[in-house]
Structure 1
Amino acid sequence: MLTWKPEFDTGVEEVDHDHKRLAEGLNKLEELLNSGKGSESIPAVLAFLERYANEHFAREEACMHRMQCPTAAANVAAHAQFRQTFAAAKAKLEKPGASALIAHRVHGELVDWIKNHIMKIDMGLRR
């Protein structure tokens, strides 16, 4: 479970709102994985996460550009890397017979990526 903490706040309301929505999506995915009954719902949650992440990336990159954020270039590169990571994770989860262990590992990797990204790159938005 990705518990939102005040130290994740960048101080930019639209970015923080997006981050919270992404955390909610990851938590929903975890709930489905833990229930063992959510396999039919997992594709919809993955589609939401993919769509919302891309929308968020566009907003965040524009915000960093506007604010002349020192981590803007690193942010664009990290987002490109995340798209690749997410695509690979999604492919693993969509394979017939994907195990619960694989699903939990993939979820953990996504949660770790988001937390590290917020703390190391997005904090460049703090003024």
Structure 2
Amino acid sequence: MLHWEKKLVLGVPEIDREHEELVKKTNEMLTALKSGNSKEEIIRHINFLADYVIKHFNSEEKLQAKYNYPDIANHKQIHSKFKGTVTQLIQDIDENGLTTSKKIEISKMTMDWLLKHIGVEDKKLADFILENRKNT
């Protein structure tokens, strides 16, 4: 399980609110994976999380454009790659079922990606936005 901690707070309220919700939705999916819920229930959680991630990515990308973020192309590419990974994951579950090893893979991949993305890429974005907000 992930916990909303100070180290995840970036100081840009609109991003932090969405990240906090993203952590909550991720935990709901992780709970469903651990609880032995049906494949359909788990896919519902994954789809909901994927939809929320897209909404969040769109919000971040609007902020990047608003502040002329210099690394916007790279950040968008990272978002696009993650969306593709989730799409592939859902397709794989549909075709091959939801094994214990697939549940572990989903849990690890989601937690690792979320913590790394917030801690590295979104931190750079937030620092840039905060610096530009100070100067305007």
TM-score, normalised with respect to structure 1? 0.88
Write the mapping of 1:57-76 to structure 2, written as runs, cut at 5 A: 57-76=57-76
CA gap 1:11/1:69 in 2 versus in 1, 3 angstroms: farther
Give the number of the structure whose alpha-carbon radius of gyration is greater: 2
Specify the alignment match of 2:30 in structure 1.
30
Counterparts of 1:11 and 1:93 in 2: how far apart (Å)?
37
Write the mapping of 1:29-48 to structure 2, written as runs, cut at 5 A: 29-48=29-48
| Superposed displacement of residue 97, structure 1 | 3.2
Question: Does the Cα contact within 8 Å between 1:86 and 1:110 map onto a contact in 2?
Answer: no
Counterparts of 1:2 and 1:78 in 2: how far apart (Å)?
21
Write the mapping of 1:46-125 to structure 2, written as runs, cut at 5 A: 46-124=46-124, 125=126
Note the aligned Cα RMSD (angstroms): 1.7
Which piece of structure 1 moves more, 97-106 or 117-126?
Answer: 97-106
Aligned residues: 127
Question: Does the Cα contact within 8 Å between 2:39 and 2:98 map onto a contact in 1?
Answer: no
Q: Deviations over 1:1-53 (max 9, x none)?
A: 11122111121111111111111111111111111134342122112111111
| Superposed displacement of residue 117, structure 1 | 0.8
Task: List runs of 5+ in structure 2 lacking aligned partners.
Answer: 131-136
Q: Deviations over 1:33-80 (max 9, x none)?
A: 111134342122112111111111110111122123343332111101
Amino acid at match of 1:74: N
CA gap 1:31/1:116 in 2 versus in 1, 3 angstroms: same
Counterparts of 2:80 and 2:39 in 1: how far apart (Å)?
28
- Structure with greater proportional helix content: 2
Counterparts of 2:44 and 2:112 in 1: how far apart (Å)?
21
Task: List runs of 5+ in structure 1 lacking aligned partners.
Answer: none
CA gap 1:97/1:77 in 2 versus in 1, 3 angstroms: closer
Counterparts of 1:14 and 1:94 in 2: how far apart (Å)?
34
Q: What is the percent sequence identity of the aligned residues?
A: 26
Write the mapping of 1:6-17 to structure 2, written as runs, cut at 5 A: 6-17=6-17
